[in-house]
Amino acid sequence: MPELPEVEVTRRRIAPFLVGKRLVELKTTAPSYFFVTPPDELRKRLPGLCFTALERKGKYLLATLSDESHLLLHLGMTGQLFADGASNPRLLRKTGRAALTPGLEVGFRPDAHTHLEFHMDSAPVVFFRDTRKFGKVEWLAPGAVSKRLSKLGPDALEAEPEGVHASFRRRSVAVKTALLDQSVLSGAGNIYADECLFLAGVRPNRSANRLTLQQTRRILAELRRVLERSIETGGSSISDYVAPDGLDGGYQDERRVYARAGEPCLVCGSAIKRVVLGQRSTHYCSVCQK
């Protein structure tokens, strides 16, 4: 699910349940790959604090707490952040019935993959669930700078073409690979990288350091367009939950190449190709993209 648009939609939907609310109790699973900060330390430090802000940095969510410490969250591949009572049919079918939140008739029943439960003062419980544990949670002491955040390049929605072009010129990798490198540009993932290259008419395997500034401009403009459009459709999707599976999301119907291998190109009709670049499956039209 989570590339920039999904993280942004998650941020917008979950912020009202956190910001301005006080954390009463935090429940966690046992230590694992998911926890950068050990769960017992989180349980010790966080309760009693209020959330004062929730920002997005590339694909990360950065929450500010009332003591000026921060909580850094990443959804990884399968992370889901949602409030109790969310009308997520998939989650409810699996785990539903009596809500943990007083006053809610139907709610989410935490399972083995529910690594965090934020029990708030007079607000629904907020859950962070992640089956593959590629997601991350890290607590940052007041004034501490996250190494993960400091190596992020400019946000994909704000990046200046000149700067990205300069980064591209230092890379001999495929442009698709360069787009996925979060230190070049943060927020793009496998779907939107493929989509913007299609719209820009650029082959994914073109060497990043041989692109002109003009081509870089075009790629960034198309990337921004698909990201903004996807945020829009995510925001307009049903009720108040974030689909756990991106293909259930609103943008699914607008994909031009991603996961369409063998199907006809919507522009020229030739079959969409699938190759592997930088260990990621990559989709493109060999006629429309040069």
Q: Are the C-beta atoms of 281 and 274 separated by less than 8 Å? A: yes
* Contact set for DNA, span 122-151 (CB under 7 A): 131-134, 148, 151
Of positions 66, 172, 214, 270, contacts DNA by CB under 7 A: 172
If one asks whether residue 247 binds DNA (CB under 7 A), the answer comes out as: yes
Rule CB under 7 A: say whether 231 interacts with DNA: no
The span from the CA of 153 to the CA of 49, in Å, is: 30
Min CB(140)–DNA separation in Å:
14
Q: What angle do CA 38, 40, 45 make, to 5 degrees?
A: 100
Distance CA 230, CA 255 (A): 10
**What does the CA dihedral 224, 227, 229, 230 come to, rounded to 10 degrees?**
180
Which residue from 27, 30, 65, 47 is spatially nearest to 141, judged by alpha carbons? 65
For position 39 contacting DNA by CB under 7 A, the verdict is no
Residue 191 lies near DNA (rule: CB under 7 A): yes
Q: Which is nearer to DNA, 124 or 135 (CB)?
A: 135
Q: Is 195 an interacting residue with respect to DNA (CB under 7 A)? A: no
Q: Applying CB under 7 A, does 88 fall inside the site for DNA?
A: no
Task: Give 50 or 259: the residue with its C-beta nearer to DNA.
Answer: 259
Size of the residue set binding DNA (CB under 7 A): 38
Min CB(122)–DNA separation in Å = 32
Q: Kindly state the smallest distance separating residue 262's Cβ from DNA, in Å.
A: 12
| Tokens of residue 34, six digits | 């998911």
State phi, psi for 90 to the nearest 5 degrees: -65, -45
Three-state DSSP at 115 gives: strand
- Give the number of other CB atoms < 10 A from CB of residue 15: 16
Residue burial 56-90, b: 16+ Cβ < 10 Å; e: rest: bbbbbbbbbbeeebbbbbbbbebbbbbbbbbebee
CB closer to DNA, 47 vs 278: 278
In whole angstroms, the minimum distance from the beta carbon of 134 to DNA comes to 4
Measured between alpha carbons, how far is residue 1 from residues 50, 51, 135, 139, 206 in Å? Answer: 28, 25, 12, 23, 26
Judged by CB, which is closer to DNA: 33, or 98? Answer: 33
Binding residue (CB under 7 A) for DNA from 10, 29, 101, 177: 177
Q: Does 250 bind DNA (CB under 7 A)?
A: no
| Positions marked catalytic | 2-3, 59, 280
- Is residue 189 near DNA by the rule CB under 7 A? yes
Judged by CB under 7 A, the residue of 16, 33, 55, 98 near DNA is: 33
Nearest-approach distance from CB 280 to DNA, in angstroms: 5
Binding site for DNA (CB under 7 A): 1-3, 6, 32-33, 58-59, 74, 76-77, 113, 131-134, 148, 151, 170-173, 177, 180, 182, 189-191, 245-249, 259, 278-281
